[in-house]
Amino acid sequence: MPATLLLLAACKPPPEGRHPMAGADAAAGRAVVERVGCGSCHAFPDIAWPRGAVGPDLSRFASQTMIAGRVPNRPDLLAAFVRNAPAVVPGSAMPAMPIDEAEARDVAAYLYTLGAE
Amino acid sequence: MTVAVEGLSGWPPPVLDPAGPYAGSVTALTWVLIGMAVAVLLIVLAALYIALFGKGELRRRLGGEKVIWILGIAFPTVVLTGLLVWGLTLTRHLSAPAAEGTALKMRVSGEMWWWRVDYLDEAGSTLMADANELHIPVGRTVEIELVSPDVVHSFWVPQLSGKLDMVPGRRNLIRIQADRPGTYAGQCAEYCGGPHALMGFMVIAHEPAEWARWLARRRAPPAAPTDAQAQRGGQLFLAAGCGACHRIAGTPANGLAGPDLTYVGARRTLGAGILPNHRGTMMGWIGDSQAIKPGNRMPPYRVLSAEQLEAIAVYLEGRR
């Protein structure tokens, strides 16, 4: 019984520990998102324009359990996904993006600020 | 490794940082007018202060007829006349034709809400059609015919010249010149309805030799795609009817209502100077450009699958 409780509790760690992105900079990630034009397909809560409609609205991305409805929303997978989505989720409509690995980690850190509980 | 997305470098355009002789004189005039306006404001404020709080004798003299004659009539007449003559002299070269055969000729047509670009030969016939981007050599005057088929637009690349309206039924001439290589952003400067604020433009200035090589490469349209995905994208482009509005030289796509896409893969931006140009933004634009630039004349293509959308984007990426 105590072990089950522990397991249940572990499902929902506090926000600050939930998506650790060591050394990544969410503000820099937001700048990358603006520069690359992620808004062509996605809406972000704190980016006024563009608010694309081809892909999902990412306003509550941090509280989402899955990435693209296919893989767990984990920092390492997210950083890999934003840079080269088809490699993580084959068949994803999201193409690879012109960003490097450090930028991808920054973008992931930024996405974890969106709608964090 | 940093992967450059240079698309929107130069945006927003600095308005007081001239990069050539035409913008230079406009900027000089701007600074002098601002300086004069500040000087006059200070004189008026000083007079107001004296009128409200000055000693009796000073106030009487300020209200006297002599001051009205000097500061109220003579000063403005002399200063404004001087400024007018100086300003007209300074900016005379903006409307003076360049010496015969020295200027490059181009035509830019302001359309709702993008720019149709034609590179012209000496006789005024089109050498090459493009859109939303202009490539020029540094150090050479470029004479641009400004026209519009629909409403009034205004051509403005602040670092290269002043702004000039594009008026339906008229042909206005603007001259631009860049003295250093770089990317210079422009913007429609006359409200033209709907997404007017999203009607941007790019001028890319190259060293003359590099520009000549660039132009030579553009004498022939890009080669037909060889990889399977791009070939499929090319077929889908035609099957989806894109060719009704867009032209791609060397293919059956010959529409003229929208931007020429023969070299779309080489453009810095998408949607007329508003988005960097890469596969992701291209898919977002084709899938639903109305969410990005509401009111623009391209419908959203919600019928395409992810795989089809990407194939078309890959095909267009190769049009360079």
- Answer whether residue B296 is part of any domain: yes
Q: Which domain holds residue B165?
A: 104-217
- Answer whether residue B252 is part of any domain: yes
Instruction: Clarify whether residues B110 and B145 are in a common domain.
Output: yes
B288 in contact with chain A, both atoms CB, cutoff 8 A:
yes
Confidence of residue B7 (pLDDT cuts 50, 70, 90): low
Closest CA–CA distance from residue B274 to any residue of chain A (Å): 9
Kindly list the domain boundaries of chain A, sorted by start residue: 24-111
B281 in contact with chain A, both atoms CB, cutoff 8 A:
yes
Closest CA–CA distance from residue B6 to any residue of chain A (Å): 9
**CA–CA separation, B153 vs B249, rounded Å?**
27
> Which of B164, B182, B217 finishes a domain?
B217
Confidence of residue A1 (pLDDT cuts 50, 70, 90): very low
Interchain CB distance below 8 Å, B292 and A40:
yes
Interchain CB distance below 8 Å, A54 and B310:
no
Q: What is residue B2's predicted lDDT score, i.e. its pLDDT?
A: 39
Q: What is the CATH number of the domain that holds B257?
A: 2.60.40.420
User: What token pair was written down for B67?
Assistant: 């001051």
- Answer whether residue B16 is part of any domain: no
Closest CA–CA distance from residue B293 to any residue of chain A (Å): 8
pLDDT single digits (tens) B131-167: 999 999 999 999 999 999 999 999 999 999 999 999 9
Interchain CB distance below 8 Å, A40 and B275:
yes
Instruction: Clarify whether residues B164 and B201 are in a common domain.
Output: yes
- Answer whether residue B165 is part of any domain: yes
B5 in contact with chain A, both atoms CB, cutoff 8 A:
yes
Instruction: Clarify whether residues B127 and B204 are in a common domain.
Output: yes
> Which of B217, B246, B278 finishes a domain?
B217
Instruction: Clarify whether residues B186 and B148 are in a common domain.
Output: yes
B292 in contact with chain A, both atoms CB, cutoff 8 A:
yes
Instruction: Clarify whether residues B90 and B127 are in a common domain.
Output: no
- Whole-number percent of chain A with pLDDT over 70: 84
Interchain CB distance below 8 Å, B288 and A54:
yes
Interchain CB distance below 8 Å, B275 and A99:
no
B3 in contact with chain A, both atoms CB, cutoff 8 A:
yes
pLDDT single digits (tens) A68-79: 999 999 999 999
Residue of A nearest to B291 (CA): A52
**CA–CA separation, B320 vs B317, rounded Å?**
7
Query: Where is A105: in which H helix or E strand?
Result: helix A101-111
> Which of B95, B114, B140 finishes a domain?
B95
Question: Please, what CATH class does the domain formed by A24-111 belong to?
Answer: mainly alpha
Domain count, chain B: 3
